[in-house]
Amino acid sequence: MSASQEMNRTSLLEVKDLCVSYGKVEAVHKVNVRIGEGEIVTVIGPNGAGKTTLMNALMAALPSAGEVAYAGHRLGERRSIEQMVALGMNLVPEKRELFSEMSVEDNLLLGAFSRYRRGFRDHLQSMEEIYERFPRLRERKRQAAGTLSGGERQMLAMGRALMAKPKLLMLDEPSLGLAPLVIREIFKVIESLKSAGVSILLVEQNARAALRVADYAYVLETGSIAMEGPAKALAGDPKVIESYLGVGA
Ligand code: ATP
């Protein structure tokens, strides 16, 4: 992408000088992040770098300082999760956080609750779309979420988030603990979501897979952005190869 095209990308999210602290300890320090409409942006980095903290702060699940502009709104520091969901932001947490006693279908319906409360009645149509994207979930719709395999749980967590029809889907370690074939399936879905116009912020330990699907990438180290650039450029950068991709990348 040329510099002028880069400038023309419409921003969905722009974060400036974001700081997040746990008590006296600052976990995220002056982070600037930008996500263009319809882009996949990835944040890679070692354990404890602050990736989950960053996503939770964007979602307003944690208090933060800094400027957040999202979907044409300048948002103050007193944002709420409900407000962010209503504006089309949705987070699939690393632990997936499903209701394990409830069926697959009921977990999906809960994902549409916020839209329902705002007067939308398109949840059955949305559920049909989710089943088309994840046929495995249709096969298991009456099964309790707690009895699903790891891959199916990740699909259900993503499906539930998609029931809210997000503009920006944030995925925290979607490949964590999954077998290679399932990881490939999850990444295919991530790419197909981009084609459907959903913007994605992807946090991954699996840097190789993340850089393959992403348009743009940030490397977060000890709470600060250490490097950034188009994903292809970072995938070829010797420092990234040495630290995150290993030999033979
Ligand atoms: P991982 O890849 O291991 O999940 P991460 O990059 O997502 O790591 P975070 O989970 O955001 O990193 O953690 C960033 C830093 O903040 C770490 O030093 C962690 O110990 C600290 N931290 C995270 N949650 C809390 C909390 N609830 N209270 C205090 N410190 C926390």
**Mean pLDDT, rounded, for 26-54:** 96
State percent of the chain over pLDDT 70: 95
Pocket test for ligand 1, best of 24, 29, 31, 52 (most atoms within 8 A of CB): 52
pLDDT, position 249: 41
Residue 96 CB–ligand 1 contact under 6 Å: no
The residue ranking higher by pLDDT, 102 or 205, is 102
* pTM across the whole model: 0.92
Q: Where are the domains of the chain?
A: 1-88+167-249, 95-165
Q: What is the Cα–Cα distance from 181 to 179, expressed in whole angstroms?
A: 6
Residue nearest to atom 30 of ligand 1 (CA): 22
Pocket test for ligand 1, best of 20, 22, 47 (most atoms within 8 A of CB): 22
pLDDT, position 2: 47
Single-letter code of the amino acid located at 177: G
Kindly list the strands in the beta sheet with 65-70, ordered across the sheet, starting from the edge strand earlier in the chain.
Answer: 25-36, 11-22, 65-70, 73-75
Q: pLDDT tens across 239-248, in order? A: 999 999 976 4
- Does position 10 have pLDDT exceeding 90, yes or no? no
pLDDT, position 247: 60
- Name which of 14, 11, 9, 22 is nearest 223 in CA terms: 22
Q: What is the Cα–Cα distance from 132 to 36, expressed in whole angstroms?
A: 27
Indicate which atom in ligand 1 lies nearest the CA of residue 53.
11
Q: What is the Cα–Cα distance from 233 to 54, expressed in whole angstroms?
A: 23
Residue nearest to atom 18 of ligand 1 (CA): 48
Between CA 135 and CA 35, with CA 186 as vertex, the angle to 5 degrees is: 120
* CATH class for the domain made up of 1-88+167-249: alpha beta
- Does position 4 have pLDDT exceeding 70, yes or no? no
Residue 117, both tokens = 């409360």
Residue 53, both tokens = 């903290």
Output b/e per residue, 10-26; b: 16+ Cβ within 10 A. eebbebeebebbeeeeb
Residue nearest to atom 1 of ligand 1 (CA): 47
Residue 183, both tokens = 């990881």
- Does position 3 have pLDDT exceeding 60, yes or no? no
Q: What is the Cα–Cα distance from 85 to 164, expressed in whole angstroms?
A: 8
- Does position 129 have pLDDT exceeding 80, yes or no? yes
Q: What is the mean pLDDT of the chain?
A: 92
Please state whether beta strands 168-172 and 11-22 pair in parallel, antiparallel, or not at all (unpaired): unpaired
Q: What is the Cα–Cα distance from 171 to 215, expressed in whole angstroms?
A: 15
The gap from C-alpha 32 to its chain's centroid, in whole angstroms, comes to: 17
Helix ranges restricted to H, the chain: 3-8, 51-58, 81-86, 104-111, 113-117, 123-133, 135-139, 150-162, 180-195, 207-213, 231-235, 238-240
Indicate which atom in ligand 1 lies nearest the CA of residue 220.
6
pLDDT, position 223: 97
- Does position 7 have pLDDT exceeding 50, yes or no? no
118 CA distance to ligand 1 middle (Å): 34
Residue nearest to atom 14 of ligand 1 (CA): 50
Q: pLDDT tens across 210-241, in order? A: 999 999 999 999 999 999 999 999 999 999 99
